[in-house]
Amino acid sequence: MINLDLSQSAPFTNLKVTLLLEALTSGQVAASVREFPDCRVKAETREEAIAQIQATFLERLKNMEAISWNVPIQTSELTWIKFAGVFKDDSDLAAIMESIRAERTLDDESEVDPSYYL
């Protein structure tokens, strides 16, 4: 059974977005909100475009709500975590990794002997 822990909706207290301004070939300026690409306006000047996109976005926010969702993850799905760091202090693994690192950075043009894999 999955428990959807949805925290209650909170009013926006401070939402930081990025306004994108684009000079069009027609001489107009297009403005949009990067985080909401479908929120876009066109205006005659840069200042008008900024004012219009701000007003448009604020109007749109009136119909939105923010809900935090704590995604439930069962520990059985994270069984790999118990193996994290298991070779941290293994001197044999450190030597093997150093050998692999050295081989990867070798600048010669030699090929691996195909008979090695037979």
pLDDT digits (tens, 9 = 90+) for 54-81: 999 999 999 888 888 887 776 665 677 7
Residue 85 counted as domain residue: yes
Nearest to 57, CA basis, from 38, 71, 42? 38
Residue 101 counted as domain residue: yes
Domain of residue 88, residue span: 75-106
pLDDT at 1: 46
Assessment of whether the complete model's pTM goes beyond 0.85: no
Structural domain count, the chain: 1
Instruction: Kindly state the average pLDDT of the residues 39-61.
Output: 96
CA atoms within 13 A on the CB side of 1: 2
| Pairing of β 29-33 and β 36-43 | antiparallel
Residue 83 counted as domain residue: yes
Residue 68 counted as domain residue: no
Residue 66 DSSP label: B
